[in-house]
A and B are shown apart, each in its own frame.
Chain A
Amino acid sequence: MAEHEKLVVMVTHGPEDPELATIPFAMAGAAVASDVEVVMGFQGEGCELVKKGVAEQIHADEFAPLGELLETIQELGGQLLVCSPCIKKRHLSEDDLVDGAEIVAAGRFVAEVTSATSSLVY
């Protein structure tokens, strides 16, 4: 049996850079399709991407639409973790985020990254 693989993808770019906002979703999408456990972590401007209604508006040239990628990643079991202080700074709550997104603090991110077989930071 193959070793269990887990990929953590940290996202720090938001709607201001559609390409760098989309690439982590493309990588996470390919990973869940490859039976790799995926955890996406959103910090800084990256938090904007998991606000309700934002992902659907982002479509970088030559990439699949971000909203479709997000939907597929969740459908195939990917987790979305969002930085707690980043959310507070933006005066957001869990109700403002897409369903399934979980607000977490630094300790949880560290636990996810150190237990992953690979991680990517964008």
Chain B
Amino acid sequence: MTETLTDVAAAKVVDARGVACPGPLLEAKKAMAGVAVGEVLELWSSDSQTKNDVQAWSGKVGHEFLGVEVADGYDRVFVRRGK
């Protein structure tokens, strides 16, 4: 059975709602240091561009971008640490 985002248990959740560009990306970078390889970071952001930014960042640095769940006024962005 395919894993869906709602089934993902994040090892760490970072609330970057209200943080302006490029703050959410920097929060993700710093938080990822506390996530083990293979585990998932969940980033909350009210900046509509964060999901695109984090997707590009994940591809560049070797993490797996899992996707986005739209919540009430913010996005929940899921990234699995790759290295």
B57–A64 CB distance below 8 A: no
A64-B19, A64-B21 known; A29-B61 Cβ under 8 A:
no
Instruction: Give A69 to B61 CA distance when docked, in angstroms.
Output: 20
B21–A72 CB distance below 8 A: no
With an 8 A cutoff between CB atoms, is B12 at the interface? no
A33-B57, A34-B57, A35-B61 known; A26-B29 Cβ under 8 A:
no
- Residues from 1 to 51 in B contacting A, C-beta threshold 8 Å: 19-23, 25-26, 28-30
Interface of chain A: mostly helix, strand, loop or mixed: helix
With an 8 A cutoff between CB atoms, is A30 at the interface? yes
B21–A68 CB distance below 8 A: no
- Residues from 72 to 118 in A contacting B, C-beta threshold 8 Å: 72, 75-76
- Our count of residue pairs bridging A and B at CB distance below 8 angstroms stands at 39
Instruction: Give A68 to B27 CA distance when docked, in angstroms.
Output: 11
B21–A33 CB distance below 8 A: no
With an 8 A cutoff between CB atoms, is A3 at the interface? no
Instruction: Give A68 to B26 CA distance when docked, in angstroms.
Output: 10
- Residues from 38 to 76 in A contacting B, C-beta threshold 8 Å: 62-64, 68-69, 72, 75-76
Pick 10 A–B contacts, CB within 8 A, sort by A: A26-B22, A29-B22, A30-B22, A30-B25, A33-B22, A33-B26, A63-B20, A69-B22, A69-B26, A76-B29
